[in-house]
Amino acid sequence: PNPWCQPGGGILESNPGRKRKKILLVVIGILLSLGIIISVSYAWWSHIVSQEGINTIESTCLEIELIDENPISLTNAYPITDAEARLLTPYTFTITNTCNTAVEYDVNLDIMESKINGVDNRLASEYVAVEFNEESKKLLNTFESVEPSYPGSDYIPVEARYLTSGDLEANESKTYTIKLWMDESVTVEDDAMNKSFISKIVITAKQSHTVRLVDYIMSETSKDFEKFEHPATYQTPAQTDYRYTGKSPDNYVCFGSEEIPCPEDNLYRIIGVIPTQSEVNGEYEDRVKLIKNERYEETESGLLLLNGQMPGVYGYDWSGGVKSNNWETSTLNTEVLNKIYWKNLGEYQKYITSSVWYLGGAEYNFKNPASSSYSSEQFYLFERGSSRGFSGGSLNVVSNIGLMYPSDYGFSLSMAHKGEGLLPNEQTWIANLNMNYTEWTINPVTNANAGGYIYAWLFSPKWNSVQSAISVNSVGHIQKVYQMYIRPTFYLKSNVLYKNGNGSIENPYRISINE
């Protein structure tokens, strides 16, 4: 039989009605005289290893299959060279996790008692060569010794060797191979004649200590984490997301550094867990959305900041001096965020997934600006709507890095405020990030003023919190009365893991990635 240890230490048995499956290596000694043994040049062993069919063991947490597509079956065998061993067909088995949570597992080879008339008849591990998962050959006795865990009554385990361990995410599978043969170093002087070797692959599994960040956030958050239900829009179906709200939630993440304490430049905040696509019309996936805690001030070739100002990067075509509020072609999108900032992330690029960003616009009332103070709920519909910015362009773009939406600010107040205008409010953590600066959001304005100035929506804690601002004036420079900043925003891959931390600024969440 092929038993397995399930999470919690219980035992799962394969279907008792099936033919018993076994991984069995038998060395049969033939009683011959020494002269005959020498004359046949080691042809005094015959070992058979076989397993038929498929072992399938299911629990609420694991499905494990031992697939004997290529069972080991060697007859009339004798000690062979490593070169000859490479020609052997390996035994293959696949482990599949059908849980919704990650699991950890260990793979061991349990070696069974083999007695004849009460006398130990087991072939020593030092004579058995192993090639596991196409790694270099090792003698079995060099593998780490562990406690046997085979629970069956048909054989008694007396020795066990650790082969490997790993983690499986939900619905993930891993396949392993193993070859066993008698090592070429075995000689007639060794105590290997008339011996038997019986072993079984044993897998033990338990719930993993590794947790995806998105799962940890959903299970560990407090009253500062609110559920928002949104209606269908022109570009999106009805959706539910979860956002941090209030004045000072514990939603800090240390991103891009392993230093303790986390450098200020590596502090980010979690906007929430948002259903997101990697491509238009693709599958939605719940992802953690991050925004940089402080403004981004990297420079390259003098492109970005000058005394805190950004000279026309939103919608400014640097080669032609054309004013525009088309985010898709803007320098801020193509050069600053998705080239300079992206390059500076280095190895941490692998944590970020490309996502669809919605570029629907809203009209600004230049004669009566107060009437342009839309609610977060209205902005949500505009952002995902069918109205393009004044300069045209697509209604969405797929990229790695973006900026926050106007609605991201509004929803950070709380669910209770989602129908209110986006006015200054110190009770939201986004407004408290930096009360002295105005910053771009990703969405354009759909109209221009009488002078032909073209605008984009910005977030300002000093004015009505979300207003419109000139992206460039007629000669291609930002109005100096404004100081517009940016804070890169992006979505993490779903396989980013929670390591430690409580989300506070003193102890931010630390993350890793399951590659």
Alpha-carbon distance of 210 to 395, in angstroms, equals 38
Half-sphere exposure of 156 (CA within 13 A, CB side): 6
pLDDT in tens, 463-506: 433 444 433 222 222 222 345 678 899 999 999 999 889 999 99
CB–CB of 336/313 below 8 Å?
A: yes
pLDDT in tens, 310-335: 333 343 333 344 567 888 888 788 88
CB–CB of 277/305 below 8 Å?
A: no
Selected residue with higher pLDDT from 368 and 287? 287
**Partner residues linked to 168 by β-bridges:** 103
Confidence band, pLDDT 50/70/90 cuts, at residue 435 = low
DSSP 341: I
Q: Which amino acid is at 68?
A: D
Alpha-carbon distance of 166 to 203, in angstroms, equals 11
* Bridge-based pairing state of the strands 252-254 and 509-513: parallel
Backbone φ and ψ of 150, nearest 5°: -65, 125
In sequence order, the 6+-apart residues with CB closer than 8 A to the CB of 257 are: 263, 266
Selected residue with higher pLDDT from 66 and 201? 201
The mean pLDDT of 250-256, rounded to a whole number, is 96
**pLDDT value of position 210:** 72
Q: Which residue has the tokens 């270099």?
A: 136
**pLDDT value of position 17:** 36
CB atoms within 10 A of CB 138: 15
**pLDDT value of position 449:** 74
The first and second tokens of residue 446, run together, are: 């759909």
- State which of 76-80, 81-85, 134-138 shows the largest mean pLDDT: 134-138
In sequence order, the 6+-apart residues with CB closer than 8 A to the CB of 442 are: 327, 357, 359, 402, 403, 404, 405, 489
pTM value is: 0.60
Dihedral of CA atoms 183, 187, 193, 196 in degrees, nearest 10, equals -10
**pLDDT value of position 101:** 67
